Amino acid sequence: MNTRCANTEALAEYERKVDREERRANAVSDYALDLVCGELSICKFENFADALAEVIEDESALARIHCAITFGRSESAGIMLRQAIEKILSARAEQMAISHVDSSCEKCFGRGCRKCDPPEPDYDD
């Protein structure tokens, strides 16, 4: 007879929960990175223009950029502008990744597994 004590069971459940959360966080991070490098890349004009419009609406970011330009630090202003745009695009990617992962398979979080990607039937027989 193989029985486990309540503490062992509780520890095993806790470790499963921690492992699941870690796999979910990794899936979100990986998918967000894929989005920032692809669909939400700063190199795409549409993404740049849309994020720039948000930066212009952010008075504190705009004030810092204005101050840098006013004092002749155009390189700093460019860096601040790029960072502000990247921050906006990263936040969007994070939200999209969370939505994607949360609506995906509980086992693989959208990365592909036998549960969500069953093998295709072999019709050659």
pLDDT digits (tens, 9 = 90+) for 50-60: 999 999 999 99
Q: Would you say residue 22 lies in a domain?
A: yes
Q: Would you say residue 92 lies in a domain?
A: yes
What is the tally of structural domains in the chain? 1
Q: Which domain holds residue 87?
A: 9-102
Q: Would you say residue 119 lies in a domain?
A: no
Q: Would you say residue 72 lies in a domain?
A: yes
Q: Would you say residue 109 lies in a domain?
A: no
Q: Would you say residue 118 lies in a domain?
A: no
Residue 119: per-residue pLDDT: 59
Question: Could you read off the pLDDT of 25-42 as tens digits, one per residue?
Answer: 999 999 999 999 999 999
| CA angle, residues 47, 53, 57, in degrees to nearest 5 | 145
**C-beta atoms surrounding 72 within 10 Å:** 9
Residue 108: per-residue pLDDT: 76
Place of tokens 């004590």: 5
Q: Would you say residue 2 lies in a domain?
A: no
Residues with pLDDT less than 70, the chain: 1-3, 114, 117-125
**C-beta atoms surrounding 74 within 10 Å:** 11
Q: 20-36: string of b/e by CB count within 10 Å (b at 16+)?
A: eeeebeebbeebbeebb
